[in-house]
Each structure stands twice: as structure tokens, then as C-alpha cells.
Structure 1
Amino acid sequence: MKMDEQNEHMSEQTQNEDLLQEQTQDLAQELDEQAQQEPQAQDPLQVCQQELEAQKDKYLRVHADFENVKKRLEKEKYQALEYANESFAKDLLDVFDTLEMALNAPDQSFEQLVEGVGLIRANLLKVFEKHGVKEIETQNGFDPNFHEAVMQMPSGEHSDGEIVQVLKKGFAFKERVLRPTMVGVCKN
């Protein structure tokens, strides 16, 4: 009987081992399936490195876009400067055409010529005003910021330093003097 018990015990042990091995295989298979279904937990350092690379790539793209915009704006700025006077030049063409017609008009009297030149001058002043070029006034007296005294002359009608005569008109573009008015001032 001992042998039967021993055989039975061996058989039971073999069955237990087989069952344990089967359960181990099932558990291993289940763990593999779970590992495939769940994303693996990554190393925090690796996660940070990946995020750093992504941010670096994003920065490089933004920087490249910025450089492209900067180049485009620089090009547009140079084009704007190059063609800034285009509308002024176009407006002067009308004045030029009027001058050409006056010079080519047949049988003009001196009075007609003077009248035509006056109209051309008026048109030119309109173009100047349209583009911010204004004649510098002299009624308010001598101002060294806007006037240049090129000669002194005695005058019984004016006090010292007053403008007696305008020799060449001055002009300003907006608030900047293009050319000061050249004047003669009184010196008694």
C-alpha cells in the first residue's frame, strides 16, 4: 500500500505541478496581453527629453517663420522707400503737361504767357500742398529757424531785424524745412 500511496502522491504532485505550470503560463500570457494593451510607463527623464525635443523643434519653426517675416518686411520697406515719391511725381506730370502746352501754343501774346505761367505756378502750389510741402510765411517776422538773412539794408519803414525783402521763397515738408526763405533784413 505504501507504493500505491506513493504513486498516488506522485501523481497528485505531478498534477499539481502541471496545474501550477499551466496557471503560470496563463498568468504570463495575461501579463503580456495587459502590457500590450496599456502603454508602458516611460522613464520621466525620457519623457522630459522628448518634450524638450518637441519644444526645441517648435522654437526652431517659430524662429524660422519670424526670420521669413522679418526678411519680407525688410524687402517691403525698401520697396516702399524706393517708390515713396511715386504719387508726387505723378501729380507733377500734370504741371509738366500744362507747361508743355504753354510753350507750344502758337501765336501767344506776352500777357497770355504770363497768365499761363501764373496758372502753372498755382497748379504746382496745389501739388505741393497736397503732398505736405508748404511755403514758409514771412509775415510773422524774421525767425532763424525758417529764414536765412543773406543781406542787410537800411529802411525807414522797418525796424532793425525786420524782413524788408524776400529774395528766394522757402518751403517746408510737413514740419521740416526743405529750404529756408532767403531774405534781406533791415539794418539802420
Structure 2
Amino acid sequence: MDKNQETKQDETKEEQESSENVIKEDNENIKEDELIKELEKKDNEIEELNDRFLRLQADFMNYKNRVEKDKENVYTHATEDIMNQLLPILDNFERALDNMDNEDSFYKGVKMIYDQILDVLKKNGLKEIQCEGEPFDPNFHHAVFAEECEDREEGTILEILQKGYMLNDKVIRPSMVKVVK
């Protein structure tokens, strides 16, 4: 073989190696691009899952707060209902006590029972609306009678006809009153 042929063969070999290197680089670039695309896809999936998790967590917290609020509302409504049923009993006890002899042992027994009931109701949030001598407020009072009175200012409450009560700062029964006209 002569030198020319050898040189041509070497050149052909070099070209072949060079083209093989180019092919290898292209394959590596393609693999890198595929890996990058795959990583981007996985990152997007992770981001979506994270968003779903955060929304689910927020929904759960909202649900938990709603259930707690509903539970509190049920308790408040039930307490208010029971209080409204017991108020006429308190009124009857007061009428009975007003018409009994204070020295009598029967009076003392009834008074003890009345005081116990009143104490239990107060511990559960019941408060009497104090209003005699106070200015009339339609949020707390219900005017049944109006009477002229020279020595009192107009709109002042003269007499309580039926006590009013509040349960935890909510009026459950307004006071029925007589007002100065």
C-alpha cells in the first residue's frame, strides 16, 4: 500500500470516528433533553400535588371550623330553648313567693328551691334585665302601658310587669314594662 492510500484510510477513519463522536454527542444531547423534559414533567406533577394538598388542607380546616361552629350553635339553641321553657316556672315561683308568709317553713323551702333553680340558670348564662327607673330601650323592653307621671322624665320605666332575661348577651325575653308618657 502506498502512502496515499494509507493517508486516505487514516482520513476516512478519522472522519468515521468524528462522525461517530458527533452521533454520540447528538445521542447524549437527546438523552439530556429527554431527561430535562422528564424532570420538568415531574416538577409540574409535584407542584400540582402540592397545590392539591394545600387546597385539601384548607378545605379540612374550613370543615373543622364549620363543624365546631355548628356544634356551638346547636348547644346555644338547645340552651336557649330550655331557658325559655323554664322562664314561666320562675315566674310562677316568684308569684307563689310573693303571696306566702315569709316566716313559714314552707315559704323557706320553696325559696330554697327557687334560689337553686335560679343559681343553675345563672351559671348557664341567664341574666335578669334590670330596668326599673331606667330609660326605656326597645331592644330590652316591651312597653305594655304608658302612664303620666309628673315627677319622672318621659320614657322612664315605672314598673316591671314581667321580668326580662338575657342569655349570654342575647335577649331571650324582653321585660314587659309600664313607661312614663
- TM-aligned CA distance change 1:120 to 1:165, over 3 Å: same
Determine if the alignment matches structure 1 residue 58 to structure 2 residue 54: no
- TM-aligned CA distance change 1:176 to 1:79, over 3 Å: closer
Could you list the runs of 5+ residues in structure 1 that have no partner in the other structure? 1-6, 90-109
Give the equivalent residue in structure 2 for 1:3. Answer: none
Give the equivalent residue in structure 2 for 1:123. Answer: 116
Give the equivalent residue in structure 2 for 1:20. Answer: 14
Give the equivalent residue in structure 2 for 1:83. Answer: 75
Residue 73 of structure 1 deviates from its aligned partner by 3.0
Determine if the alignment matches structure 1 residue 68 to structure 2 residue 60: yes
Between the aligned partners of 1:39 and 1:23, the Cα distance in structure 2 is 21
Give the equivalent residue in structure 2 for 1:165. Answer: 159
- Higher RCO (Cα < 8 Å, 6 or more apart): 2
Q: Tell me if structure 2 keeps the 8 A contact 1:172–1:179.
A: yes
Describe the SS at the equivalent of 2:134: coil
Q: Tell me if structure 2 keeps the 8 A contact 1:155–1:186.
A: yes
CA RMSD of aligned residues (A): 4.5
Between the aligned partners of 1:153 and 1:18, the Cα distance in structure 2 is 125
Give the equivalent residue in structure 2 for 1:137. Answer: 130
Describe the SS at the equivalent of 1:56: helix
- TM-aligned CA distance change 1:49 to 1:10, over 3 Å: closer
Give the equivalent residue in structure 1 for 2:95. Answer: none
Please give the per-residue CA displacement for 1:59-93, whole angstroms capped at 9, x wherever unaligned: 2332233223323332333233223467897xxxx
Tell me how many residue pairs correspond in the alignment: 158
Q: Tell me if structure 2 keeps the 8 A contact 1:160–1:185.
A: no
Give the equivalent residue in structure 2 for 1:100. Answer: none
Q: Tell me if structure 2 keeps the 8 A contact 1:136–1:172.
A: yes
Give the equivalent residue in structure 1 for 2:100. Answer: none
**More off after superposition, 20-29 vs 168-177:** 20-29
Determine if the alignment matches structure 1 residue 177 to structure 2 residue 159: no
Work out the percentage of aligned pairs sharing the same amino acid. 21
Please, what TM-score do these two structures have when normalized by structure 1?
0.56
- TM-aligned CA distance change 1:170 to 1:84, over 3 Å: closer
Please, what TM-score do these two structures have when normalized by structure 2?
0.57
Residue 40 of structure 1 deviates from its aligned partner by 1.0
Between the aligned partners of 2:74 and 2:168, the Cα distance in structure 1 is 20
Please give the per-residue CA displacement for 1:34-65, whole angstroms capped at 9, x wherever unaligned: x39x9614699x58973555433332332233
Q: Tell me if structure 1 keeps the 8 A contact 2:164–2:174.
A: yes
Could you list the runs of 5+ residues in structure 2 that have no partner in the other structure? 83-102
